Amino acid sequence: MNSSIAAAIAPLEGLTVGEVLRRSARLHPGNVFFKGDGLRASFADFDAAVDRLATALLQLGIGRGDHVALWLPNSYEWALVFCASARIGAVVVPINTRYTAPEAAYILRQSDARLLVLTRRLWGKDYAQLLEGVLSELGSASMLRHVAWVKGEGAAGLDFASLAARP
């Protein structure tokens, strides 16, 4: 490993993802953490958003060791759920956005995910319709307790923006 890279990584050894984010927000609060999708967030803003979502997840009963499934493209919301889950000790289960309902149901069943965060539409696919197939495949024995929609107007379940904005 390059010695300059090793020197940069050394102070981070032993820290969790949440701790690295918190440290970065403290050291570089105004620096840009995320830029894309018409959104720009500083380290401090993102860290505060992670805290709000982590608190909301705990209020939903999601905690250390629980599995949170993400059926999302790479996005601000994906990063936010990943970091909030890490902060409370939950495990993120990514689901490929190209998966069919049976494939997604298999991942959810095998992972015992308690929360699924997904988008309403992507690449012409209606994920509300796909979710109907997923829930049918899962049946009542599923551990899935909550579904949160990113930009899911009209879809049954939690609105991710409202969930992420809870105080």
What pTM was computed for the model? 0.88
The answer to whether the CB of 120 falls within 8 A of the CB of 150 is yes
Mean pLDDT value across the chain: 89
7 band by pLDDT with thresholds 50, 70 and 90: low
The pLDDT of 26-36, averaged and rounded, is 93
Residue 99 has pLDDT above 70, yes or no: yes
The answer to whether the CB of 120 falls within 8 A of the CB of 107 is no
8 band by pLDDT with thresholds 50, 70 and 90: low
Q: Which residue has the higher pLDDT, 50 or 124?
A: 50
Phi, psi (degrees; rounded to nearest 5) at 58: -60, -40
CA-closest candidate to residue 120, choices 108, 129, 112 = 129
In single-letter form, the type of residue at position 151 comes to K
Percent of the chain whose pLDDT exceeds 90 = 59
Residue 106 has pLDDT above 90, yes or no: yes
Specify the length of the chain in residues: 167
The answer to whether the CB of 116 falls within 8 A of the CB of 90 is no
**Which domains does the chain carry?**
17-165 (3.40.50.980)
CA–CA distances in Å: residue 54 to residues 6, 57, 166 = 31, 5, 10
Calpha distance 70→166 (Å, rounded) = 20
For the chain, how are helix, strand and coil distributed in percent, rounded to 5? 50, 20, 30
Calpha distance 47→51 (Å, rounded) = 6
Q: Which residue has the higher pLDDT, 8 or 19?
A: 19
Calpha distance 152→4 (Å, rounded) = 45
Residue 5 has pLDDT above 60, yes or no: no
Would you say the C-alpha torsion 77, 83, 88, 89 has a positive or negative sign? positive
pLDDT for 6 equals: 53
Calpha distance 88→161 (Å, rounded) = 19
A 10 A CB-CB count for 156 gives 10
pLDDT (tens digit, 9 = 90+) per residue, 35-77? 988 899 999 999 999 999 999 999 999 999 999 999 999 999 9
